[in-house]
Amino acid sequence: MAFDAIETPFAKIDKIIGGSATYVAYAASNFIKPVQQISIVGNDFPQAEMDELTSRGVELEGVEIVADKKSFFWSGKYHNDMNSRDSLVTDLNVLEDFNPVVPDSYQGAEFLMLGNVMPKLQLSVINQLKVRPKLIVMDTMNFWMDIAMDDLKEVLKKIDVLLVNDSEARQLSGEFSLVKAAKKILTMGPKFLIIKKGEHGALLFNENHVFFAPALPLEEVFDPTGAGDTFAGGFIGYLAKTKDISFENMKTAIIVGSAMASFCVEKFGPERLKEITKADIDERLNEFVQLVNFDIDLV
């Protein structure tokens, strides 16, 4: 949970609520309650934002508030293609000493989403859980591959689903072909691998199976910040709602994640996620069905 400053080719905002956990919670809470949040903020994090999350069934007992520090702050500028960006400022602030503690009331959680933080912290959360969750999903990024690959590989051994983008899959595996990369990563721990390709959709790999989910072709991407986290939140939220972790159901969960991400990019930060209704989500899911459905009589 954090603050972001975002500049795109179209617009600019100096301060907006952000952070992986925020986006995951906004997306997942459309499908499952409660969402039990673990995070850390400073004295500057608005109570109104906390209340907004609480009203959606997000429990905040695991969110530490540090009285004498500021929340994590990130500032970034997107390039014209909206697929790449430069980080301008990264102020760790409260994140410097983050030591996540799982509240007793969270014990027994069946679905665990590990947002993109230091692998050691992800491992700590897993180790604090007395009963292993039914499904552990992990997000990570190239930065941790650069500076904490050994820790990251430890976490990989303990999870079920890994979420990375295409260049991260290549970095982690040392393979350029995504099919070869997936095969290698599936020997490192996770049984399922999701490779996110931004505007080009996402691939789900499991054993010898592969599923492809497109991204919705949009007239405009207003702000891609948080799209990956929103995807993750929709994905695990749908799985938690349906309590079915088969490959078949994960296909649907990826479509749900893609639909949620397609909302996220329509406005700055999580603004659009705060507005959407169940009817909006159903309509968007139907657009995905139309987008990829075809009839075929074999030749």
Which residues sit at the interface with a second copy, rule CB under 8 A?
Answer: 30-31, 80-81, 176-180, 197, 200-201, 203, 209-214, 217-220, 238, 248, 251-252, 255-256, 278, 281-282, 285-286, 288-296, 298-299
Residues in the chain: 299
Strand arrangement of the beta sheet that strand 202-206 belongs to: 111-114, 135-139, 161-165, 192-196, 202-206, 209-213
Strand partners, 85: 78
Q: Which residues contact 281 (CB under 8 A, 6 or more apart)?
A: 30, 259, 260, 263
Shortest Å distance, C-beta 273 to a second copy:
14
Amino acid at 260: M
Number of Cβ within a 10 Å radius of residue 279:
8
Nearer to a second copy, 12 or 209 (CB): 209
Integer Cα distance of 208 and 204 in angstroms: 11
Shortest Å distance, C-beta 196 to a second copy:
13
Nearer to a second copy, 138 or 254 (CB): 254
Shortest Å distance, C-beta 77 to a second copy:
17
Nearer to a second copy, 71 or 258 (CB): 258
Shortest Å distance, C-beta 27 to a second copy:
12
Nearer to a second copy, 14 or 283 (CB): 283
Residue 50 DSSP SS3: helix
